[in-house]
Structure 1
Amino acid sequence: MATAPIIDTSAVLDLSEPLQLDGGQVLPGVQIAYETQGELNAAKDNAILVCHALTGDHHLVSDHPITGKPGWWVRMVGPGKPIDTDRYFVICANVIGSCMGSTGPASLAPDGKPWAMRFPVITIRDMVRGHVALLDALGIDCLHAVVGGSMGGMQTLSLAANFPDRTRAALVIASTARHSAQNIAFHEMGRQAIMADNEWREGDYYDHGRGPEKGLAVARMAAHITYLSEAGLTEKFGRRLQDRHEKTFGFDADFQIESYLRYQGLTFSGRFDANSYLYITRAMDYFDLAEEHGGPLANAFAASKARFCLVSFDTDWLYPTSDSRNVVQALNAAGKPVSFVELSAPYGHDSFLLDVPALDRVVAGFLG
């Protein structure tokens, strides 16, 4: 039986004006790739913006055009689902700096050559500026809600803080208001793996047939470990051997966990651009919402009109519950309506992407 072709349902917005960036540079010719689900009502007040994580994209529900896999949050978004497309107009935009349709290092600069490392360093707030430009183009003055997990949660906080009139609600899942030293350390390890690969060529690998695939694979392997929990790894893999009954006394993938990580690295390097990984991780490392607003985190939310919901997971050690509580305390200090819940799940940081029925109930209840 023939496999149905993958249809890319993306739309692309060409910004009419250059994008002013936090680093002081101006990015010209910006394109924003995005996907929408549901119908925008006549009042244009039923829109929900969903923000994706580091290695995600705007293929929220539709099949991914490279891997053919279902959209990354298909279990959460759709008719009758917690983010109900029978009720809401759901938008997901690819962040600038990415490699999945929005302008990034692999895009062509004004001279007709890939930006590569000439691409300006961006921030989470710069990504949100791209989202707001998209909302302007769609004629949406104020969102019903903005929702995001992990890096998507950073964008959610940034939009609520820096564009306080643009959303009535903000749902932040497994995220933080600033990157810790540990977070930065893991990212730096990944960046160094990429830049140590001989095929990186100082970022100018686009015309050489291949890029730093090995370095990117190692970066993905290191990062993927942080998304999981020790209990989850033990239950899923333990110390079980991979397709053998005895150790080889060599350096092949003897253990199932080794084989799994190698597979994750290999498949990731086939769908993601290494330079984009450098730029997006740097944006996450620079994220510090309190610093942006002069010190106390409560300052960031002073003008916000939104109500907030923070969700954490008890096995998430990348963005632990204490990070969410810090945001909740700041919102309380700013006098903003906020609810908070820590959910129990065995999957670690990736719990927001996996089957956690309690999260479904929280999302549906908050948005409803």
Structure 2
Amino acid sequence: MSMTVVEGARTAHRDGVVRWADVGDLVLESGVLLPGVRLAFETWGELNADGSNAVLVEHALTGDSHVTRGTAAEHTPEDVFDPAAADGWWDGLVGPGAAIDTEKYFVVCANILGGCFGSTGPASPARDGAPWGSRFPRITVRDTVAAEARLADVLGVRAWRLVVGGSMGGVRALEWAVTCPERVEACAVIAANARVGAEQLAWGQAQTLAIRQDPCFRGGDYYGGPYPEAGLGLARRIAHITYRSAPELQTRFGRAPQGREDPEYAKEAGRGRYTVESYLDHQASKIVERFDANSYLSVNETLMSHDVARGRGDLRTALARTRCEWLVAAVDSDRLFYPSESAELVAALPGEQELHMITSPSGHDGFLIETPQVGRLLHRTVLRD
């Protein structure tokens, strides 16, 4: 099997700029063969001589590979946007001198299989040259790990010093530790759990139906025609409510109207908006501008597949195969991945483990917001060297 890294013409080997790895055909858990898999990824720092300093950072549901800022290009014309200079989604936690120090560690972040930021996904061309669309196969969390293991091979990474992620990234980190125990020295599972439960499945179904019932969705074969932006926007609104805590929404927005759009006194057809509605509308607009609706369905279904003990006995038996150090942390105000679910995971891990708590008023998104707390936890537990 041939696996290669395809370099960007102007951006090869620069920190924080997308590259692509062709990792070959992949037989999925379903038995379906997905041909010519490509993963988009970014790196920071250098792999040391014995390959002992590699860190894999896993992004959340609609994330991408740009976890932190990279190296700015020399002599970049002022009118040309430099992608390396853009803010990352975990700046402050990853970077020079940060908890995950890119001057010390070789940091890798890959766009998930099924995504829409350079990795093979529903918008990618199938063998007939047309987008996969409705034909794109179901991807499980274990499939994403299998693809990333191929990427590790391409990069020369024998074992990860640390695999870390929050939310869906934490789910993928956990699966790495169980699927490839010999390749994970430490694992940090943040704001995630051992299996997606009924309530999370229910939220996921609501998001799926919001997209599929958009008239423009056309069963997933909408490429070249009107885009199902209404359905995708509604899916994001549903999801974002679960990402924040009820007290935070009340404190930030309450019942305040959006400017002069007071719903209580609107005289024109329809009604105005409360500020919280404007906030959700903004989140919907952002996702429509940057994400593919089919990829949203794909990665959402991938998350729904998560049960680390599936086919492996009970949870304790499944986790017994792991060999790594652990950090399991929950956000105290999380109402999507409840702290009690993180506690269930900790109780089933081998050895004596502790559940660490991130204090945040922000709900699930606290794992992204409270980076100083996350950094201190990493240093106290799995990054003591």
TM-score normalised over the length of structure 2:
0.88
Pairing of 1:1-368 with structure 2 (within 5 A): 9-15=17-23, 17-62=24-69, 70-208=87-225, 210-244=226-260, 246=262, 247-249=264-266, 251-294=270-313, 296-331=314-349, 335-336=350-351, 338-366=353-381, 367-368=383-384
- Tell me by how many angstroms 1:82 deviates: 1.1
Unmatched 5+ residue regions in structure 1? 1-5
CA distance in 1, matches of 2:293, 2:205: 13
CA distance in 2, matches of 1:328, 1:235: 32
Taking a change above 3 Å as real, the CA distance of residues 292 and 252 of structure 1, as seen in their structure-2 partners, is farther
Which amino acid counterpart does residue 346 of structure 1 have in structure 2? P
CA distance in 2, matches of 1:48, 1:112: 35
Stretch of structure 1 that moved more, 239-248 or 80-89: 239-248
Are the equivalent residues in 2 in contact too, given 1:176–1:319 (CA < 8 A)? yes
- Tell me by how many angstroms 1:53 deviates: 0.5
Which amino acid counterpart does residue 243 of structure 1 have in structure 2? G
Report SS of the residue matched to 2:217.
helix
TM-score normalised over the length of structure 1:
0.92
Report SS of the residue matched to 2:187.
strand
Number of residues of Structure 1 aligned to a counterpart in Structure 2: 356
Taking a change above 3 Å as real, the CA distance of residues 216 and 147 of structure 1, as seen in their structure-2 partners, is same
Taking a change above 3 Å as real, the CA distance of residues 300 and 257 of structure 1, as seen in their structure-2 partners, is same
Report SS of the residue matched to 2:36.
coil
Taking a change above 3 Å as real, the CA distance of residues 34 and 337 of structure 1, as seen in their structure-2 partners, is farther
Q: Which residue of 2 aligns with 1:3?
A: none
CA distance in 2, matches of 1:141, 1:24: 27
Taking a change above 3 Å as real, the CA distance of residues 186 and 18 of structure 1, as seen in their structure-2 partners, is same
CA distance in 1, matches of 2:176, 2:49: 24
Report SS of the residue matched to 2:254.
coil
Q: Which string of whole-angstrom CA distances, capped at 9 and with x for unpartnered residues, describes residues 220-242 of structure 1?
A: 00000000001111111111111
- Tell me by how many angstroms 1:337 deviates: 5.5
CA distance in 2, matches of 1:185, 1:65: 40
Taking a change above 3 Å as real, the CA distance of residues 62 and 111 of structure 1, as seen in their structure-2 partners, is farther
Are the equivalent residues in 2 in contact too, given 1:178–1:289 (CA < 8 A)? yes
Taking a change above 3 Å as real, the CA distance of residues 138 and 337 of structure 1, as seen in their structure-2 partners, is farther
Unmatched 5+ residue regions in structure 2? 1-10, 71-80
CA distance in 2, matches of 1:338, 1:109: 45
Q: Which string of whole-angstrom CA distances, capped at 9 and with x for unpartnered residues, describes residues 163-212 of structure 1?
A: 1101100000000111111111111111111111111011111121x310
CA distance in 2, matches of 1:309, 1:169: 8
- Tell me by how many angstroms 1:360 deviates: 2.2
Are the equivalent residues in 1 in contact too, given 2:69–2:95 (CA < 8 A)? no
CA distance in 2, matches of 1:13, 1:361: 33
Q: Which string of whole-angstrom CA distances, capped at 9 and with x for unpartnered residues, describes residues 74-107 of structure 1?
A: 1210011111111111100011000110000000
Report SS of the residue matched to 2:181.
coil
Are the equivalent residues in 1 in contact too, given 2:164–2:170 (CA < 8 A)? yes
Which amino acid counterpart does residue 232 of structure 1 have in structure 2? E
- Tell me by how many angstroms 1:62 deviates: 3.6
Which amino acid counterpart does residue 20 of structure 2 have in structure 1? V
Are the equivalent residues in 2 in contact too, given 1:32–1:101 (CA < 8 A)? yes
Taking a change above 3 Å as real, the CA distance of residues 260 and 251 of structure 1, as seen in their structure-2 partners, is farther
CA-based RMSD of the aligned residues comes to 1.9
CA distance in 2, matches of 1:101, 1:304: 31
CA distance in 2, matches of 1:170, 1:222: 30
Stretch of structure 1 that moved more, 18-27 or 357-366: 357-366
Report SS of the residue matched to 1:352.
helix
Are the equivalent residues in 1 in contact too, given 2:93–2:372 (CA < 8 A)? no
